[in-house]
Chains A and B, each alone.
Chain A
């Protein structure tokens, strides 16, 4: 069985947020909610100062604590490691949000439309989230099931995001992860993320 994962090259990422917008477009996420985004911070003092970009998304952890704490089973993990939320089961208790150190999850209170003066045909066609639930990056599971890359990977202009099967040592993602000593965020939390970073 595959275990899907991603490697992101922080040296190459330019913080352009194409990934952020591709995700929004792919999933028609509601206003103010971003499943994937790019965080940043400054390091150093002028003139030796620098900005750092960190694209983040759900890590699809091997030990997803979000699933562990979920009281309903709404959060579940597929055999290929993708962690998903069943909106029909979700209570909106947000304990998964409290438990996950990475902050990919968002509570959706309703009214996701982007324009005050009406829902667009695009939103009518694509934005069907029940209110009062929690949502997050789903690794573009529908695309992945069709053999496509996730939307953020597909669009990334610098090609600094690589997606693939971590269980297959021959896959590009595994090779790069091994070669470049890829590391996850906050490994000490013990959740074993499937999203890794190199460079930076």
Chain B
């Protein structure tokens, strides 16, 4: 129903400015930061390294998306108003603090006393690193949310949804990579249980967002129509909600109750893949159903 994008029609108009590079950044940036956050909690050096690497890949994609990547440094100039500008600081901060944190954790490193585990400085550094990760996870929500242009995005839910999804994805990456990851082994059971709470949280948030938007502006209603009945219904209902959230939730029941190591292992692996797929799809659809209101 929405107009062909390049026709001079007064109609609901889809945004096409941001495509797969930005979508991939949203996914990888969030997931990387989420993984880093979890690594702090688990005190797992290699998880942290991996987190930063994922974030790095995401950031490179974001840079590639710029019309003038070589001017990226100019994006630091408007933190007073621009969330993108702020985001640049958050990402940078996360990299800087993350690298310091990980460097300090490096095995066999002799640290001066004022830098050793337990000192206020170390704790503050760690808290700051965690804070930066949280900011990176949520600021993209703030990039979308304040925009009055695209009603579907114009919602306080987005920073929270993005936070939840980023954490979910971060942990899923950890689950997937755990067999190959050096360092102490991880309690997959524990992670998997946590994931279920996160899945429920995501489900609630996404559904609430959808229900709020269904009674909102023209373009938002059209976004919802696309997601629930229109062009993207099967991907949204089947992919994001079904395969990405509900199916993992149901399949997780045996994991949570039974706890046979092999089953758990195989299953969590599949569940993580499903959830990651759902997460990426979610970010993809959020961008695809970003529609502008008709001008008249």
- Chains A and B are bound partners: yes
Q: Which residues A1-57 have CB closer than 8 A to chain B? A: 32, 37-41, 52, 54, 56
Question: A52-72 toward B: CB 8 Å interface, digit per residue (1/0)?
Answer: 101010000000010111111
The reply to whether B66 and A93 contact each other, CB–CB distance below 8 Å, is yes
Interface string of B262-296 (1 = CB under 8 A from A): 00000000000000000000000000001011111
A residues less than 8 Å from B81 (CB atoms): 67-69
What is the CA–CA distance of A99 and B142 in the complex, to the nearest angstrom? Answer: 12
Question: Using an 8 Å CB-CB cutoff, how does the interface string of A79-94 with B read, 1 for contact, 0 for none?
Answer: 0000000000111111
Chain A residues with CB under 8 Å of B294's CB are 41
Given contact pairs A56-B295, A72-B75, A190-B148, A131 touches B67 in the complex (Cβ within 8 A): yes
Report the number of A-B residue pairs with Cβ-Cβ less than 8 Å: 128
Q: Which of B65, B78, B88, B290 contacts A73 (CB 8 A)?
A: B78
Interface membership of B181, Cβ < 8 A: no
Main secondary structure of the interface of B (DSSP, over half): loop
Question: Given the known A-B contacts A98-B290, A133-B67, A191-B148, are A91 and B74 also in contact in the complex, defined by CB atoms under 8 Å?
Answer: yes
Let me know if B148 and A65 touch, CB within 8 A.
Answer: yes
Task: Write out the residue numbers on chain A whose beta carbons fall within 8 Å of the beta carbon of B197.
Answer: none
Once the chains bind, are A38 and B68 in contact (CB under 8 Å)?
no
Asked if B72 and A39 make an inter-chain contact with CB atoms under 8 angstroms apart, the answer reads no
Q: Which residue of B lies closest to A106 (CB)?
A: B17
Q: Are A52 and B149 in contact (CB under 8 A)?
A: no
A interface footprint on B41-73 (CB within 8 Å = 1, 0 otherwise): 000000000000000000000000111100110
Closest to B296 in A: A54
A69 pairs with B8, CB closer than 8 A: no
Given contacts A71-B74, A90-B71, 6 further A-B contacts (CB under 8 A): A40-B9, A54-B295, A70-B78, A71-B88, A98-B15, A107-B67
Task: List 8 interface pairs A-B (beta carbons < 8 Å), by A numbering.
Answer: A56-B295, A69-B81, A69-B143, A71-B88, A98-B144, A100-B149, A133-B67, A133-B68
